[in-house]
Chain A
Amino acid sequence: MLWQKETPGANVVIRGARVLDPAEGVDARLDVRIDDGTIVAVAEQVDANEHRVIEAEGLVLAPAFVDPHVHLRTPGREDEETVASGTAAAAAGGYCAILAMPNTEPVVDSAATLGSLVETARREAEVPVGFLAAISRGQQGEELTEMAELTDAGAVAFSDDGVPVASAGLMRRALQYASITGRPLALHCEEPTLSRGGHVHEGRVAAELGFAGYPSVAESVAVERDLSLAGYERGRVHVLHLSAAESVEALARARAAGVEASGEATPHHLVLTDDAVRSLDPNVKMNPPLRAERDRVALLEAVRDGTIEAIATDHAPHAAQEKDVPFEAAPFGVTGLETAFGALYTHLVRPGLLPLATLLERMSGGPARIFGLERPRVAAGARANLVLLDLEREWRVGERPFRSRSGNSWLLGARLGGDVRMTLAGGAVVFE
């Protein structure tokens, strides 16, 4: 289900790092030895033999990250991102696996299109990448895609992300049919008749600045609808980029009632509120929009308590000339792969709002579990999917060039504390 270009497995010893793998119950100063891409020993002292030794005193070694929500813009907008550049950005961000959304040009709605992407990934992907296929043909919301064939061709899940499945009837049919594939539906929940024309969360900031509002209820009524349908059809759903407190409450209720539902939150929704829009910077324009402080607090609480199991960047590259326009003319979306850990470590872990172990779990094990991927772990016998983190390093976003082809980061110019030193993905060193 995941594809990566052929890369030799690493032979390295990582010495003296604080090994932190919450799911394995490990938090200790240990050495890790990797033979040909596979972890063979995690112990107080390992033999280096001929291996390259990485002195990691003072660094944290953790399972590498999994991003279930990335836009690679390929096919169609290779000027904004390619499989090569997007996966290179992922490697720099500490990711060992990413999932790409199908809202490309053309849409990934046939086995042929998916097949050609898989071929590209086998040639170019720096880190293992998986692909979602569309729920409806052309994401038009009218006819279902051939989900069984797409699953055989390697689709990890199905999504019309970018646009909602507006018809409740089609959503029901999608839930019914997807059940034979065993793959979840990843849902962009938005009621278009409530959000239409909106650029900014409907609240004080939009009212004062004069922006057309995109209210929280535009998301939460769609979340409620889809969770009701999922419960009725016993389907598996994953709610993408949650932004509103009411949506989080709906997800918690559905999960408590036994619906197989999961959710994700993005770094920008966890760190910023609509107050940031006062800057009129098009790099804080995204769909769903940044919301109020109470929404941000609700998201954070849900990440903490596990109602939201995954943190996803919704990495959405855009060409400079399309973002360097007045706010209302700019497209929705920001990049995130290369800044996610630094942003969340700086703004959530350092101030004591989120334990480091929880952050690592939501960025790795959580999303892997939702999409049925092998969980990255620091344990003998596992493939090396590891990230080496420097929690002390202070850096400024933009000081080193982005590996992504696009620079529409909401953190441009910001100082962050905590950075990725090295990434191993699929057994290979992909970033250092």
Chain B
Amino acid sequence: MIRLVTDDLRPPGEPPKRHLLSVADLTRDDVERLLGTARTFAASLERHVKKLPTLKGHLVVNLFYESSTRTSSSFELAAKRLSADTLTVKSTGSSVDKGESLRDTALTLGAYDPDVIVIRHPQIGAPQLVARVTEAHVVNAGDGKQQHPTQALLDLYTLQQELGRLEGLHVAIVGDVLHSRVARSLLQAFALVGIRTTLVGPPALLPRELPAETTTDIAAIRDADVVYVLRMQNERMQPGANYVPSLREYTARWGITPERLRPGQRVMHPGPMNRGVEIDAAVADSPRSLVIDEVRSGLVVRMAVLYDVLTGGPVGVRALAAAEVA
């Protein structure tokens, strides 16, 4: 393999900024430290006064180019619980509507000297671009189909809280893996902590080259401790793409119904759910469902992430050399 010799063009002596851009940048130690911090914050949230002074005087900017309920609300609340100032900018109703480029928007917000920019964007690599052009610590809240690292962390947290362990678990991820940043992030996070993963779904929605067991047979979920259901992403289905003939056929073949589960299996879903498509309402509302626990985990895990990028050890430090061609 040919490697191009390129140099790091950052000014010498300046340590790389701490960002959380991808699960791929994390070590197992990073994950364990983050989950530990999240547990500490969870305990603090049980007190009568839930606000901590930890990040007082810091500014957290939430920059959201895609609609979101869970992620944007929990980042905002996480920052507020830690006493940071927050500023939320959504692409609709902002200058993005007037055609402002991501680079210019980032430069504009960067002028307020934010400590953290949390960004969600429909395109892969948008967080890297923001990290390149601003001085802020950047947290990826979902970039296109690539990564959603805080979702993976909150799911690890949920699994650990509810099943008491991570190592040795077996999780079946079911559905539209191809278009899922959640699946990509989970796959890396699960590998990091020793969780076995099986990907299950229709042939055209399972990338063949992912490093995981893959099968089109829904019966494979019976071996798993946890069934992780992915949203059937209608908005990403181009008309006429024919990934599946119809949603009806998808549901009949791969929908998660009570009959397809065995006793004791737990079910997760990153939300928002399409009840009656990828998940039967009876499953979603059953005690085996961890969906609401995931939302709760989201708050404390995002508090831990904000705290960690601003203060902690080397979490997901990624040297952003100008020319990283390798």
Interface positions of A (Cβ within 8 A of B): 196-197, 202-204, 206-213, 271-273, 275-276, 278-281, 284, 293, 321, 324-329, 347, 396, 410-415
Q: What separation, in Å, do the CA atoms of A210 and B144 have in the docked complex?
A: 8
Cβ 8 A contact of A327, one of B5, B123, B325:
B123
Cβ 8 A contact of B126, one of A206, A275, A326:
A326
A413 contacts B125, C-beta separation under 8 Å = no
Q: Write the nearest CB–CB distance from A318 to chain B, whole angstroms.
A: 14
Q: What separation, in Å, do the CA atoms of A273 and B124 have in the docked complex?
A: 19
A328 contacts B184, C-beta separation under 8 Å = no
- Which A residues touch B323, using CB under 8 A? 279, 281, 412-414
Query: What are 11 pairs between A and B in contact, CB < 8 Å?
Result: A202-B209, A203-B209, A210-B144, A210-B184, A213-B207, A271-B2, A279-B326, A325-B129, A326-B144, A411-B325, A413-B323
Q: Write the nearest CB–CB distance from A419 to chain B, whole angstroms.
A: 15
For B1, the closest partner residue in chain A by CB is A293
Q: Write the nearest CB–CB distance from B179 to chain A, whole angstroms.
A: 8
At the interface, yes or no: B289 with Cβ under 8 Å from chain A? no
- Which B residues touch A272, using CB under 8 A? 2, 4, 325
Cβ 8 A contact of A324, one of B9, B103, B121:
B103
- Which B residues touch A329, using CB under 8 A? 123
For A326, the closest partner residue in chain B by CB is B123
- Which B residues touch A275, using CB under 8 A? 1, 326
Within 8 A of A (CB), among B167-186: 179, 181, 184
Within 8 A of A (CB), among B79-111: 101-103
Within 8 A of A (CB), among B102-139: 102-103, 121, 123-126, 128-129
A197 contacts B326, C-beta separation under 8 Å = no
B325 contacts A279, C-beta separation under 8 Å = yes
B124 contacts A208, C-beta separation under 8 Å = no
B124 contacts A414, C-beta separation under 8 Å = no
For A203, the closest partner residue in chain B by CB is B209
Given contacts A210-B147, A278-B326, A284-B325, contact A415 B126 (CB under 8 A): no
B4 contacts A411, C-beta separation under 8 Å = yes
A326 contacts B9, C-beta separation under 8 Å = no
- Which A residues touch B9, using CB under 8 A? 413
At the interface, yes or no: B37 with Cβ under 8 Å from chain A? no
From B1, B128, B325, name the one whose CB has the most chain A CB atoms within 10 angstroms.
B325
Q: What separation, in Å, do the CA atoms of A275 and B4 have in the docked complex?
A: 12
- Which A residues touch B124, using CB under 8 A? 209-211, 280, 326-328
B145 contacts A414, C-beta separation under 8 Å = no
Q: Write the nearest CB–CB distance from A112 to chain B, whole angstroms.
A: 34
Q: What separation, in Å, do the CA atoms of A426 and B147 have in the docked complex?
A: 53
B129 contacts A276, C-beta separation under 8 Å = no
Q: Write the nearest CB–CB distance from B5 to chain A, whole angstroms.
A: 5
Q: What separation, in Å, do the CA atoms of A272 and B3 have in the docked complex?
A: 8
Q: What separation, in Å, do the CA atoms of A257 and B117 have in the docked complex?
A: 60
For A213, the closest partner residue in chain B by CB is B207
- Which B residues touch A414, using CB under 8 A? 4-6, 323, 325
For B5, the closest partner residue in chain A by CB is A415
Within 8 A of A (CB), among B219-237: none
In the A-B complex, the 9 residue pairs with the smallest Cβ-Cβ separation, listed nearest first, are A210-B145, A207-B207, A413-B323, A280-B125, A326-B123, A279-B324, A210-B146, A207-B209, A204-B209
Q: Write the nearest CB–CB distance from A413 to chain B, whole angstroms.
A: 4
- Which B residues touch A278, using CB under 8 A? 324, 326
From A329, A347, A412, name the one whose CB has the most chain B CB atoms within 10 angstroms.
A329
**Number of residues from B at the complex interface, CB < 8 A:** 36
Q: What separation, in Å, do the CA atoms of A327 and B128 have in the docked complex?
A: 10
- Which B residues touch A273, using CB under 8 A? 1
A208 contacts B5, C-beta separation under 8 Å = no
At the interface, yes or no: B247 with Cβ under 8 Å from chain A? no
Q: What separation, in Å, do the CA atoms of A347 and B123 have in the docked complex?
A: 32
B103 contacts A325, C-beta separation under 8 Å = yes
Beta-carbon contacts of B127-163 to A below 8 Å, as 1s and 0s?
0110000000000000111110000000000000000
Q: Write the nearest CB–CB distance from B235 to chain A, whole angstroms.
A: 14
Q: What separation, in Å, do the CA atoms of A350 and B2 have in the docked complex?
A: 12
Beta-carbon contacts of B188-215 to A below 8 Å, as 1s and 0s?
0000000000000000000111110000
At the interface, yes or no: B238 with Cβ under 8 Å from chain A? yes
At the interface, yes or no: B46 with Cβ under 8 Å from chain A? no
- Which A residues touch B210, using CB under 8 A? 204, 207-208
Q: What separation, in Å, do the CA atoms of A197 and B102 have in the docked complex?
A: 21
Within 8 A of A (CB), among B290-325: 322-325
- Which A residues touch B103, using CB under 8 A? 321, 324-325
- Which B residues touch A271, using CB under 8 A? 2, 4
For A204, the closest partner residue in chain B by CB is B209
- Which B residues touch A197, using CB under 8 A? 238
B325 contacts A410, C-beta separation under 8 Å = yes
At the interface, yes or no: B14 with Cβ under 8 Å from chain A? no
- Which B residues touch A211, using CB under 8 A? 124, 145-146
At the interface, yes or no: B259 with Cβ under 8 Å from chain A? no
- Which B residues touch A324, using CB under 8 A? 101, 103, 129
- Which A residues touch B6, using CB under 8 A? 413-415
- Which B residues touch A410, using CB under 8 A? 325
A325 contacts B4, C-beta separation under 8 Å = no
Q: What separation, in Å, do the CA atoms of A202 and B208 have in the docked complex?
A: 9
Q: What separation, in Å, do the CA atoms of A85 and B7 have in the docked complex?
A: 28
For A321, the closest partner residue in chain B by CB is B101
- Which B residues touch A415, using CB under 8 A? 5-7
From A273, A326, A415, name the one whose CB has the most chain B CB atoms within 10 angstroms.
A326
* Apart from A208-B184, A210-B124, A413-B323, 8 more pairs, CB < 8 Å: A208-B209, A324-B101, A326-B125, A327-B123, A327-B125, A347-B2, A410-B325, A415-B5
- Which B residues touch A347, using CB under 8 A? 2, 4
Q: What separation, in Å, do the CA atoms of A278 and B4 have in the docked complex?
A: 14
Cβ 8 A contact of B325, one of A207, A209, A276, A293:
A276
For A205, the closest partner residue in chain B by CB is B209
B129 contacts A210, C-beta separation under 8 Å = no
Q: Write the nearest CB–CB distance from A339 to chain B, whole angstroms.
A: 11
A326 contacts B129, C-beta separation under 8 Å = yes
For B128, the closest partner residue in chain A by CB is A280
Q: Write the nearest CB–CB distance from B317 to chain A, whole angstroms.
A: 17
For B148, the closest partner residue in chain A by CB is A210
- Which A residues touch B128, using CB under 8 A? 280
Q: Write the nearest CB–CB distance from A304 to chain B, whole angstroms.
A: 16
For A197, the closest partner residue in chain B by CB is B238
Q: Write the nearest CB–CB distance from A153 to chain B, whole angstroms.
A: 39
Q: What separation, in Å, do the CA atoms of A187 and B23 have in the docked complex?
A: 41
Q: Write the nearest CB–CB distance from B102 to chain A, whole angstroms.
A: 6
Q: Write the nearest CB–CB distance from A269 to chain B, whole angstroms.
A: 12
Q: Write the nearest CB–CB distance from B188 to chain A, whole angstroms.
A: 8
Q: Write the nearest CB–CB distance from B43 to chain A, whole angstroms.
A: 35
Q: Write the nearest CB–CB distance from B104 to chain A, whole angstroms.
A: 9
Q: Write the nearest CB–CB distance from A144 to chain B, whole angstroms.
A: 29
Q: What separation, in Å, do the CA atoms of A295 and B9 have in the docked complex?
A: 31
